Amino acid sequence: MTSEAQVIARLRRIANDPAARGLLDDAALLDGLVITHDTIAEGVHFLPSDPPASVGWKLVAVNLSDLAAKGAKPAGALLSLTIGDDGSWDDEFLTGVEHACESYGLPLIGGDTVALPDSAPRVLGLTAIGRPGPKVPSRDGARPGDSLWLVGTLGDAAAGLRQLSEEPKAHGLLVESYRRPVPQLGAGQVLAEHANAMMDVSDGLLLDAARLAQASNGVAEIALDRLPLSRAFTAERGQDRGARLFAATGGDDYALLAALPAECDPLILPLPSGTTITHIGAMTAGSPEVRLFDGVDPIRLPETLGYEHRGRNASPMADCP
């Protein structure tokens, strides 16, 4: 079974233009623009029973999260729309796209449409274009001694998905976090000027931290006991080690992970009101890996660090921890 990592390794032989940044990032930097593309698929990124408007919102938001990680401001988007056999679904989906674009000032400037065979699962894509600030942090700039900071909270979306798997009509803050992620655009624009490296957390903190460590050729040390959990999450799942490991591997968080110089205190930066930002670890020298601590005690990494696409049968709806 082909893994996502194997496919990306093969693509690096093709994507050799400097704009691709070695495919070590979630966005390209071409002629002064930040460009990213994300696809969401029915049964993989959203449930068939999810409201179509929330699917449209999510498609826009996950792309904007990649722009946020580069400190870019939304400039335009191209929509890849698959038209199914349910016209009302398509219309509601486009309403969700419209609302998200309006909310974040993202002009829709074009795209493509294709009709699907009856009952085929929907696969929807968006290319987002952003205008960067004076600095565009990549994943490969983290250095030993940098502090690791997380913008946002962890585990809400995974907990919401778990609720829906147990009760399809579940609702509440956790379900909304899964269906309608909020990209950290404002915080990303502030932090980008100071960050040595930054990326969004979409596949699980531990897996994404491992990617940052690999790109930066260092060790990412993560303090499990410091991970930010929302009140809704702790009310549902608690905050013991098992709950925190669930939050650290669940994915769909769309938080930001930033490596900042040790002397930089983001708590005094002009972050948007209400921003949750937490010091969760540090970069150290060594062969690329993630090391996990609970207090002062090192603990073994879980077998699964997050979600990776693996062949045609992959489904986080089934594999969510």
312: number of CA atoms within 13 Å, CB side? 1
Which domains does the chain show, CATH number per domain?
4-131 (3.30.1330.10), 147-319 (3.90.650.10)
Q: How far apart are CA 198 and CA 69, in angstroms?
A: 6
Give, as one character, the DSSP assignment of residue 120: P
SS3 271: coil
Give, as one character, the DSSP assignment of residue 12: T
pLDDT tens-place string over residues 100-137: 999 999 999 999 999 988 888 899 999 999 999 999 99
pLDDT category, 309, cuts 50, 70, 90? low
pLDDT tens-place string over residues 210-267: 999 999 999 999 999 999 999 999 999 999 999 999 999 999 999 999 999 999 999 9
How would you classify the pairing of strands 147-151 and 197-201?
unpaired
Q: At residue 155, does pLDDT exceed 50?
A: yes
pLDDT tens-place string over residues 254-276: 999 999 999 999 999 999 999 99
10: number of CA atoms within 13 Å, CB side? 6
pLDDT category, 55, cuts 50, 70, 90? very high
Radius of gyration from C-alpha coordinates of the chain: 19
Q: At residue 320, does pLDDT exceed 60?
A: no
- Mean pLDDT computed over 1-10: 74
Among the listed residues 150, 148, 166, the one whose alpha carbon sits nearest the alpha carbon of residue 158: 166
Predicted pLDDT at 75: 98
- Mean pLDDT computed over 36-42: 93
Q: At residue 313, does pLDDT exceed 60?
A: no
Amino acid at 47: L
Q: Do 315 and 41 touch, CB atoms closer than 8 A? A: no
pLDDT category, 291, cuts 50, 70, 90? very high
- What Å distances lie between residue 209 and 113, 213, 259, CA to CA? 36, 6, 10
Does the predicted model carry a pTM greater than 0.95?
Answer: no
Predicted pLDDT at 51: 97
Task: Say if residue 302 is exposed, middle or buried (CB neighbours under 10 Å; 0-12, 13-18, 19+).
Answer: middle
- H or E element in which residue 176 lies: helix 173-179
Predicted pLDDT at 308: 66
Among the listed residues 20, 23, 19, the one whose alpha carbon sits nearest the alpha carbon of residue 6: 23
Would you say how long the chain is, in residues?
321
What are the two backbone dihedrals, phi and then psi, of residue 251, each rounded to the nearest 5 degrees? Answer: 85, 180
The residue with tokens 């946020």 is: 68
